[in-house]
Amino acid sequence: METPSSLVSLDVDLPIWERVFTVAPLVVVGTKGPEGGHTFAPKHQAMPIGWANYFGFACTPEHRTYRNVLREGVFTVTYPLARQVVHAALAVLIRHDDGARRGLDTLPTFPAEKIDGVFLSDGYLFLECELEKIVGGFGPFALITGRVAAAYVREDALRIFDQSDHELIGRMPLPVYLAPGRYGSVGESFAFPRPEGMRHG
């Protein structure tokens, strides 16, 4: 076998993720600050952890989100609607010199039920998470993981087994983050060609 001649070698002493686009989910993590107010942070290095009800995202101890989760032991996750990506961006842009995000009252929110947290209203999937563990050692970053204590989905985004998944995604396009620095939406999908006997893993 030959290595394709068109490959470009990347310097792994530098972050390679700035040199190519990759597709990632876009979520907004909500936490409670030390003064009692709630803050939001868009995240794309975020995903379910396995097929059990756990969720994780990358963060650095220098960020308010990390410190809030460590102190409070809980966080919320909002999966925003494709048409509300601007709200997801505003969640981090509305910041004042003292670090407070008083402008968040301009964004529609609603409270979590089982934990002390809030969600952005303009989403399709909402998770209430209790801190499971924080795993450090990924350079300056750590993986924050939580157990999903409660979950909610918009009725029109809920998968129903006698309904076409293709049609559902067509009606409810999903936002994606195209790292670094771009976003898009997925409104067309195809069944994955799963070989017989292949399991989730």
pLDDT for 91 beyond 80: no
For the chain, give every domain's residue range: 16-186
CA distance to 81, 107, 126, 184, per residue, from 84 (Å): 5, 11, 15, 12
Confidence of residue 89 (pLDDT cuts 50, 70, 90): low
pLDDT at 199: 67
Higher pLDDT, 181 or 116: 116
The C-alpha atoms of residue 127 and residue 139 are separated, in whole angstroms, by: 28
Tell me the β-bridge partners of 23: 178
Question: Is-contact 81 124, C-beta < 8 A?
Answer: yes
Average pLDDT, the chain: 87
pLDDT at 23: 94
Give the percent of the chain with pLDDT over 70.
87
Q: Per mean pLDDT, which range of 57-71, 132-146, 152-166 is the poorest?
A: 152-166
pLDDT for 99 beyond 60: no
Average confidence (pLDDT) over 129-156: 97
pLDDT at 103: 47
The C-alpha atoms of residue 190 and residue 78 are separated, in whole angstroms, by: 25
pTM for the structure as a whole: 0.88
| Tally of helices (H runs) and strands (E runs) in the chain | 3, 12
pLDDT at 1: 79
Q: Where are the beta strands (DSSP E) in the chain?
A: 22-25, 27-32, 38-43, 46-48, 54-59, 74-80, 109-111, 118-120, 123-138, 141-153, 174-179, 182-186
Fold entry, domain 16-186: Pnp Oxidase; Chain A (2.30.110)
Each residue of 36-58: pLDDT tens digit?
989 999 999 999 999 999 999 99
